[in-house]
Amino acid sequence: MLQTKIKELQSEISNLTCELRREEKALEVVNKPTMSENVYSLLEDTIRDAVDNTEFSSDDFDVELRMEYDNKIGIENLTFNSQDSMVDDIIRCIDKEFRVIENEEVDVMGELDENGNHYSKLV
C-alpha cells in the first residue's frame, strides 16, 4: 500500500514537472520583447538583402576531401570561415535601416531597471 502511494506521488510529481516546464516555456514567450509586423517585415527584408548581396569566394571555406570507393573525390567536410564578416555585413544593413536609441527609463518594451532589464510594475 505504501509502494502504491509512492508510485502515485511520483506520477503526480512527473505530471507537475511537465506542466511546470510547459508553463515556463509559455512565460518565456509572453516575456519576449515585441515589435510590430511592419518593423519585423523591414528587419526580415534587410537581413535577406544583406545575405543575398554577400559574395562568397573559395577563401571563405575550408574543404576536406576524401577518396571514394569508385575513385571519385568527395567532400568530407565543408566549413564556412567568414561568419564574422557576414554578421558585420548584416549589422551594417540593419544600421542603415534603423536608428538605435539609448535605453531610457521607459521604452517601447516597457519599464527598465537600473541595469537595463525589463520588469513589470505588477510584481
Q: What's the pLDDT score for residue 8?
A: 94
Q: What's the pLDDT score for residue 85?
A: 86
C-alpha cell at 88: 558585420
d(CA 79, CA 62): 5
> What stretches of the chain show up as alpha helix (H) in DSSP?
2-30, 37-52, 83-97
Q: What's the pLDDT score for residue 115?
A: 58
Q: Are 64 and 76 in contact (CB under 8 A)?
A: yes
pTM above 0.75, yes or no: no
Q: What's the pLDDT score for residue 83?
A: 85
Q: What's the pLDDT score for residue 119?
A: 57
d(CA 90, CA 92): 5
Q: What's the pLDDT score for residue 29?
A: 86
Residues of the chain with pLDDT under 50: 105-107, 121-123
Q: What are the φ/ψ torsions at residue 97 (nearest 5 degrees)?
A: -95, -20
Q: Are 65 and 45 in contact (CB under 8 A)?
A: no
Q: Are 81 and 57 in contact (CB under 8 A)?
A: no
Amino acid at position 101, single letter: I
Longest dimension (CA), the chain: 71
Q: Are 97 and 42 in contact (CB under 8 A)?
A: yes
